[in-house]
């Protein structure tokens, strides 16, 4: 309904293909609204979307032009902990059935 109103084609597909389309559309539609941080963690796709930090070596050549070389400036290794938020101690104290999330 929303896509029709916006003059956009309907999304077709199933399974992983449909999920990828929905994730892409959510990324575009909610850009700059602070949702991506939580989405990549909820979907557990952090390693796929936030790889190593890449920088660029820039060298001025003798002829006045510049050469650019991509360089990994930080290797990122993600543990299971990044997919969870800590449960506040005050909440754990209120309910003895709660246990802290892994890594906290």
Which residue from 77, 78, 61 is spatially nearest to 69, judged by alpha carbons?
Answer: 61
Q: Is the pTM of this model over 0.75?
A: no
Question: Mean pLDDT for the chain?
Answer: 91
Average pLDDT over residues 27-56: 92
pLDDT digits (tens, 9 = 90+) for 79-99: 889 999 999 999 999 999 999
pLDDT at position 1, please?
Answer: 61
Instruction: Return the number of other C-beta atoms located less than 10 Å from residue 87's C-beta.
Output: 14
What b-and-e string marks burial along 31-60, b requiring 16 or more CB atoms within 10 Å of the CB? eeeeeeeeebeeeeeeeeeeeeeeeeeeee
pLDDT digit string, tens, across residues 23-39: 999 999 899 999 999 99
């Amino acid at each position: 309904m929303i896509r029709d109103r916006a003059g956009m084609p309907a999304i077709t597909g199933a399974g992983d293909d449909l999920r990828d389309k929905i994730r892409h559309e959510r990324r575009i539609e909610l850009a700059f609204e602070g949702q991506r941080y939580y989405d990549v963690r909820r979907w557990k796709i952090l390693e796929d979307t936030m790889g190593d930090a890449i920088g660029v070596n820039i060298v001025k050549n003798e002829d006045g032009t510049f050469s650019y070389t991509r360089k990994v400036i930080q290797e990122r290794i993600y543990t299971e902990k990044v997919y969870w938020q800590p449960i506040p101690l005050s909440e754990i104290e209120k309910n003895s059935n709660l246990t802290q999330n892994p890594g906290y």
